[in-house]
A = this chain, B = another copy of it.
Amino acid sequence: MLSSKNTIFRLCRYRHCLKDLKNLGYVKVFSDNLGEAVGVSAAQVRKDFSLFGISGNRKGGYIIDDLLEKINHILGKDEIQKVILVGVGNLGSALLKYKGFEKEGIQIVSAFDADPAKQVKVGNIQVYPIKDISEFIKNNNIKIAILTVPGIVAQEVCEVLVSAGIRGILNFAPVNLRVPEGIIVSNVNLAIELENLVYFVCSMERRKE
Contact = CB atoms under 8 A, between A and B. Distances in A.
Given A5-B196, A91-B98, A98-B90, A184 B201 contact: yes
Contacts of A8: 196, 199-200
A170 B195 contact: no
A199 B5 CA distance: 10
Given A39-B176, A186-B193, A196-B5, A201 B16 contact: no
A97 interface: yes
Interface size class of A (residues with CB under 8 A): 35 or more
List the 5 shortest-distance A-B pairs measured between CB atoms, nearest first: A94-B94, A168-B201, A90-B94, A90-B97, A168-B197
A167 to B, nearest CB: 5
A155 to B, nearest CB: 12
Interface stretch (A25-33, A55-63, A100-108): A100-108
A192 interface: yes
Interface string A9-53: 100110011000000000000000000011100000000000000
A191 B202 CA distance: 30
A202 B3 CA distance: 13
